[in-house]
Amino acid sequence: MATTKPKKSSFIQGAITSDFIGNAIAKHQSKTTIGAHNIFLGQVRADVIDGKTVVAIEYSAYEEMAEQTFYEIREAAFTKYELSCLHIYHSLGTVKTGEICLFVFVSAPRRKVVYEALEFLVEEIKEKTAVFGKEIMEDESYTWKENS
């Protein structure tokens, strides 16, 4: 039997709460080499599609593959930028409009690198991660979301 700790999952069931985000920030107070954090929060938008308004997105994923992709994106960011740490969290299941579905958090000793690293991470996540979104309308019909 493997005794190594299982890799931490990037997926969270349901919306990412402001408590969770606040706690993630607080956990970094002991890391005093950090001088700058940057945070991206993806929020579910109430798009209007064919006259119907989106009320929620139900996220699903090819989880094993997506976790591996998150890992590779994380490694690529650490190679490319001088970061102290970084965290990626993505929702699975239902997230209502106005709620947070993606939380990317980068930290570094100095500020310049965190702007670039965050953009790199978010774009890579959107392009490469096997996550799927069912946009649920007010009348309970749905359509499959596609990243533009």
Residues that bind other proteins (CB under 8 A): 42, 57, 59-62, 64-66, 68, 90, 101-102, 122, 125-134, 144-147
Q: 70 or 81: whose CB is closer to other proteins?
A: 70
Of 89, 86, 88, give the one whose Cα is nearest residue 37: 86
70 φ, ψ to 5°?
-55, -45
Compute the least distance from the CB of residue 41 to other proteins, in Å. 10
- H or E segment at 19? helix 18-26
Residue with tokens 């699975």: 92
Rounded to a whole number of angstroms, the distance between the first and last alpha carbons of the chain is 43
Compute the least distance from the CB of residue 147 to other proteins, in Å. 5
Compute the least distance from the CB of residue 109 to other proteins, in Å. 27
Q: 34 or 71: whose CB is closer to other proteins?
A: 71
Alpha carbon distances (Å) from 27 to 24, 85, 96: 5, 12, 27
Q: 61 or 137: whose CB is closer to other proteins?
A: 61
Q: 54 or 84: whose CB is closer to other proteins?
A: 54
